[in-house]
A and B are shown apart, each in its own frame.
Chain A
């Protein structure tokens, strides 16, 4: 099973209805993604970081996620200052560093982390399956939400098949090294994983059909948003409106 380490908990954020959280995340991350000024992105990043702290994530896991994502922004910091922009430059021995590039890299990093905080605070605190059902309830076409739910399930099946084959190879003395044999073995493992998970998927589909499945997954628990959920939604929308307004102010200045 793919772990959902952030989804277990009992904070204010965990208890909220997934539908509400999906709307809130969409609103905030949309504004953050579209904003063009560093102060707005920085404010957004701080606000979402505060939201995240309310959901009380496991610090070790959180920092691991942050590092994973920021490896990508690191590449941006390496490339953009050298290549982006036409304005002022700073001469650093033989390197020409563009100030525009640095600004752009900072903006992208702030946006990336802000959206990441927002997703971790709001979406990661729900289980993937409840998010899938939430999407369907919000009017996302049934086929798409079904695809979402089953891609998630199937990823796990594929992973399991792969581990099983890898174990079989290991038990027969396979140690990977830089040789044709290794690459051949890996290509076989990869091919067999696909074939086997395809077959397995087909058998699971049969099992579902036999139990009356007709294209619609009916969740066993159907949460109804309560008063607290609507207050929560109001606050989230307020935050996104505030950020949107802030970007207008900073543009007009």
Chain B
């Protein structure tokens, strides 16, 4: 029996868009400690909204969010929660706002009390870990889409979070960068929740799958063997698919 409170717990969350009838999410209960979880589901079912609720960007109608067993109530609690949970946006352009990569990656540590020298060191180390050595003085908006995604990830990892929330991280990535991201996520010793429509990506980064159906968060059944028709280049050659 695990006596430690879970890292993150959602209790009876209900949310509806302001000015709209009916709720988008109804009575959501969910806990996560060390798991690696994937969220799938149609567009508009409330996955991103749920992330924004967890991060305190949206106010719920009812319910509470607990971090390590304590309810998030004050602004100070939110400040702590936002440091411990790293949220990677769907669109990296919204996440990168400093002129240079180094300034952007150092932004979080500086706000959390690191001295400029410490922030610089943490940022350089984080970039190195992600294979982005030498990117420090690059201009953020001139990076390619894949580079932007990895730098955005670095801006979050530099805050040393305890968990990651990733919103469609594999969108618009070329196969090589996608593979690189999978490797990074697998090598991080961090629990995460990933929203994605890319089932192969989820299969290689997550152990459990959840979906939102009828305003409820439902755990999907474990993998079932199935086959389906598919098409891709050089499909007539002997080949293997990702697990």
The residues of A with any CB-CB pair to B shorter than 8 Å are 1, 129, 153, 160, 200, 203-204, 206-214, 218-222
Contacts and interface: CB of A to CB of B under 8 A. Distances in A.
A152 to B, nearest CB: 10
A204 B95 CA distance: 6
Lowest 4 A-B CB distances belong to which pairs?
A212-B111, A211-B108, A203-B94, A218-B110
Task: Classify chain B's interface size.
Answer: 20 to 34
A218 B106 CA distance: 10
B17 interface: no
A201 to B, nearest CB: 10
B50 interface: no
Nearest to A218: B110
Query: What is the interface of chain B mostly: helix, strand, loop, or mixed?
Result: helix
A220 B103 contact: yes
21 contacts: A1-B139, A1-B141, A129-B99, A203-B89, A203-B91, A207-B95, A208-B97, A209-B57, A210-B82, A211-B82, A212-B111, A212-B112, A212-B159, A214-B111, A218-B110, A218-B116, A219-B116, A220-B103, A220-B110, A220-B119, A221-B116
Interface in B96-112: 97, 99, 102-103, 106-108, 110-112
Contact of B116 (A129, A213, A220): A220
A211 B108 CA distance: 5
Interface of B: 55, 57, 79, 82-83, 87, 89, 91, 93-95, 97, 99, 102-103, 106-108, 110-112, 116, 119-120, 139, 141-142, 155-156, 159
A172 B88 CA distance: 34
B8 to A, nearest CB: 15
